Amino acid sequence: MERAEQIKETVRNKYAEIALQSRETNQSSCCGSGCCSTDVYNIMSDDYTALEGYNSDADLGLGCGLPTQFAKIKKGDTVIDLGSGAGNDCFVARAETGDAGKVIGIDFTPAMVNKARANAEKLGFNNVEFRQGDIDDMPVTSNKADVIVSNCVLNLVPNKHKVFSEVYRVLKPGGHFSISDIVLHGNLPEKWKQVAELYAGCVTGAIQKDEYFGIIEEAGFANITLQKEKEITLPDDILSSYLSAEEIAEYKNSDTRIKSITVYADKPSKDERKCCEPENGCC
């Protein structure tokens, strides 16, 4: 428990720092900007700029996929974004739900929530709101959302079982999620697991792909589908901050791979598991 809280505090502090930086400063540390890559926060992100609802002020380049593109959001839906950051995925989702829908962003970093609220106010959106809270204990009533999305955030939560239990609780029966995240094939070098910077950058918080899908199935979801998968390559200047030249060579020659996935699943319309309510400690 103490280790989990330490990880959460590390992540909260780092993302508060990122929230207070300008988008240009954040982008100047990513390999995609054409400069030397000195950070692990932006190198995994996909290009949002062609999606309706995209807002550059809300794009901090911190994702690893485009979950809203795959989320099958309909007009009038209630959508919840886990780890909403400055609001980018929420605003893209809002373009899909329209005025009749509702979008709720949840983030546990106060600076991010404040930034997202300011962006929503500038855009004049009255059906997008941002709540501060942990995604493994969401400040949302049960059976609230038609769709849940999340972009490269579950890695940052030590207890992924609890997150997917919460996703199940908050979705309406028949609802679904589309989540982009980082998973592993093979084992990362042991020393990476001791580096808080890489945890906050979504790398050492990753678990094996099979384990990830197993947690989703265990939570009660159906129709689990891999919507997209891509390999993440960490540049040498990042690797050299944590590994020797020999260790880098060993890592590159191994079968260990860091992958971004986007995964979809349904909450069944009827729960056949014959268990009691999650609030009572069951399911």
The predicted structure's pLDDT at residue 232: 82
Average pLDDT, the chain: 82
What local confidence, expressed as pLDDT, does residue 119 receive?
94
Q: How far does the chain reach from its first CA to its final CA, in angstroms?
A: 21
So what's the pLDDT on residue 192? 73
pLDDT value, residue 158 = 82
Average pLDDT over residues 241-255: 85
* pTM for this predicted structure: 0.83
Which of 16-20, 36-40, 96-100, 201-205 has the highest mean predicted lDDT (pLDDT)? 96-100
34 pLDDT more than 90: no
* Cα–Cα nearest to 128, from 164, 84, 168, 161: 84
Average pLDDT score over residue span 97-116:
94
Residue 193: per-residue pLDDT: 66
Region of residue 60 (left: phi > 0; alpha: psi -120 to 50; beta: else): alpha
Q: CA 66, 112, 72: angle at the middle one, nearest 5? A: 25
Q: Tell me the pLDDT band of 29, cut-offs 50, 70 and 90.
A: very low
**Which pLDDT score is estimated for 279?**
53
User: In this structure, are residues 186 and 256 in contact, taking their beta carbons and an 8 Å threshold?
Assistant: yes
249-269 average pLDDT score: 91
With cut-offs at 50, 70 and 90, classify the pLDDT of residue 31: very low
Q: What is the pLDDT of residue 19?
A: 56
State how far the alpha carbon of 160 is from the alpha carbons of 136, 156, 164, 213, 269, in Å. 8, 9, 6, 11, 23
Residue 90 has pLDDT above 70, yes or no: yes
**Which comes out higher in pLDDT, residue 8 or 125?**
125
* Residue 125: pLDDT band with limits 50, 70, 90: very high
CATH hierarchy code of domain 2-270: 3.40.50.150
Q: Three-state DSSP class for 263? A: strand
Q: Distance between CA 30 and CA 50 in Å, rounded?
A: 20
| Segment 117-135 mean pLDDT | 95
DSSP 189: -
Query: At residue 27, does pLDDT exceed 60?
Result: no
pLDDT band at 8 (very low <50, low <70, confident <90, very high): low
Separation CA 77–CA 267 (nearest Å): 15
Q: Kindly state the percentage of the chain with pLDDT values over 70.
A: 75
Average pLDDT over residues 200-229: 89
pLDDT at position 30: 32
How confident is the model over 27-47, as a mean pLDDT?
Answer: 46
**Res 49 pLDDT > 90:** no
* Residue 101 predicted with pLDDT over 90: yes
